[in-house]
Amino acid sequence: MDSKVEPQQTGSSAALRTVKFLDRSTPPHMFTLVVAASTAALSTNLFLPSLPSMATYFKTDYSVIQLAVSLYLVAQAVLQLGIGPASDRFGRRPVMIFGFTVFLISTIAALWAPNVQVLLACRLLQAFAASGIVLARAIVRDTAEPADAAAKLGYVMMCMTVAPMIGPMIGGFLDEIYGWQASFYMMAVFGAVAIFIAYKDLGETNLYKSPSMLAQMKSYPEVIKSRRFWGYSLTAACSSGAFFAFIGGGPFVSTEILGMSPTQYGIYFGTVSLGYAAGNFLSARFTRKVGINNMMQLGNCVGLLSMVICISLFLAGYNHPLSLFAPMMLLGVGSGLTQPNAATGMVSVRPRLAGSASGLGGSIQVAGGATFAVLAGLLISEKTGVYPLLIVMGGALVMAMLATAYVIRVAKQAGDI
């Protein structure tokens, strides 16, 4: 039987101290958390407009170069299994700085990749940027009570959407003028800034470190036994799956089916991130009133509605970029409502294991996203058109709705709602 949510244990006098930027003696500034969480997002989609040109440069098929997205997500999923426990054992600060350092080195190495195999290997190592989002969630949970954590994380995620919102726009522009390498130069600069800010501003927020890494890894069964944890994690995985399927298949649909240029794709993609930012804002404003679980289900419904609208427009013969990207903006709103609440739920079930829960939950989330991204990449072609992509995304959202319904059912059984 799933026990009730544990009370905050680290809820910290740190949360009550004045926050000063670039001062490790105070809790980390919101800007630091935004930069940390944005690093992984930026490295996921900054170079998306360059995928077709990268396939040409490395003389390979699009399905191979698309692995630069899906393998990156798979590596993130695996790494998060260790990042969370490592931060519970050694602290949030050293683990985050180490992750960003590996990200920076691998980004620089990718610029001189002699073939696609080396490039993909570098992309695997770039996944260490996942330490940013994993530890941002844990740090928020270290320094805030559950009710405030969802709102604070919503604001963090709302602000961090600036990077993925403008990333494809800038990436498309850089690709047309300087080539695909320019996006990786920009990632390297961003990584260096992230290391500097984390070093100067991030003090240690984990006040109860575990005695050993092995002991912390042994905490996974306790997290896994929580039915709520699985409900929140699967909701996050399937909701992210719809978004990552679009990241994986969207560039092909845009360039090969709708005839868009890399710059056009980047500009239109900004509408998706704008919707996500709006959803995060609404989540931050109304979660306290509506509740975490209800807000997740509302986001799932909004996302599924966007798929219905998109499919209807294409069936009606409106083969225009807006037929794809206008509904995707609504998908972004739904994802923005769902993601911060699912993330808060997964780390609040066992607060003293917040790092492990964040790492394991994040791993499940990214693995789900990678699965749907690969599936979308395999199914779409010029002959099939946009429909396989939209069907995969719609299926992911239906699964997210079922996972959230399960969470609500478990909560009712426990007498929490």
pLDDT digits 0-9 by tens, 117-172: 999 999 999 999 988 888 887 888 777 766 566 667 767 766 666 666 677 888 88
Q: Say if CB 287 and CB 85 are below 8 A apart.
A: no
For the chain, the average pLDDT equals 83
pLDDT band at 214 (very low <50, low <70, confident <90, very high): low
Which segment of 40-44, 261-265, 351-355 scores lowest on mean pLDDT? 351-355
Task: Classify residue 287 by burial, with Cβ atoms within 10 Å: 0-12, 13-18, 19+.
Answer: buried
**Where does residue 179 fall: left (phi above 0), alpha (psi -120 to 50 degrees), or beta otherwise?**
left
Secondary structure (DSSP) of 158-216: HHHTHHHHHHHHHHHHHHHHH-THHHHHHHHHHHHHHHHHHHHH------S--S-HHHH
Q: Give the integer Cα–Cα distance in Å for 275 and 97.
A: 31
Residue environment code for 351-368, b if the CB has 16+ CB neighbours within 10 A, otherwise e:
bbbbbbbbbbbbbbbbbb
Gap between the Cα atoms of 80 and 361, Å rounded = 8
Q: Is the pLDDT of residue 238 over 60?
A: yes
221 vs 125, higher pLDDT: 125
> With 80 as the cut, is the pLDDT of residue 320 above it?
yes
Using CA atoms, how far apart are residues 214 and 241, in angstroms rounded to an integer?
A: 31
Q: How confident is the model at residue 146, as a pLDDT?
A: 60
* pLDDT score of 14 more than 50: no
Q: Which is more confidently placed, 12 or 103? A: 103
Dump pLDDT digits (tens) for 267-317.
888 788 788 888 888 887 888 888 889 999 999 999 999 999 999 999 998
**Does residue 402 have a pLDDT over 60?**
yes
So where are the chain's domains? 20-413
The two tokens of residue 175 are: 């690709």
Alpha helix (H) residue ranges in 291-386: 292-315, 321-348, 354-379
Q: What does 167-178 look like in DSSP terms, one character per residue?
A: HHHHHHHHHHHH
pLDDT of residue 351: 65
- When comparing pLDDT for 273 and 33, which is higher? 33
Q: How confident is the model at residue 42 (pLDDT cuts 50, 70, 90)?
A: confident
Lowest mean pLDDT across 65-74, 123-132, 182-191, 385-394: 65-74
Residue 356 pLDDT greater than 90, yes or no: no
Of 32-41, 52-61, 210-219, 238-247, the one with minimum mean pLDDT is 210-219
- CATH assignment of 20-413? 1.20.1250.20
State the pLDDT at residue 329. Answer: 92
Residue 230 has pLDDT above 50, yes or no: yes
Percent with pLDDT over 70 in the chain: 86
pLDDT of residue 154: 66
pLDDT band at residue 3 using 50, 70 and 90 as cut-offs: very low
**Sequence-separated contacts (24+) of 308-316 with Cβ below 8 Å:** 308/394, 310/390, 311/387, 311/390, 311/394, 314/385, 314/386, 314/387, 314/390
List % helix, strand, coil for the chain (3-state, nearest 5): 80, 0, 20
- Identify the sign of the CA torsion 304, 306, 311, 316: positive
Of 66, 113, 42, 38, nearest to 252 by C-alpha is 66
Work out the number of other CB atoms within 10 angstroms of the CB of residue 68. Answer: 24
Pairwise pLDDT comparison (266 vs 131), residue with the higher score: 131
Confidence of residue 403 (pLDDT cuts 50, 70, 90): very high
The closest of 267, 277, 268 to 161, measured between CA atoms, is: 277
Answer with the residue of higher pLDDT: 172 or 2: 172
- The pLDDT of residue 111: 93
pLDDT of residue 333: 93
pLDDT of 307: 95
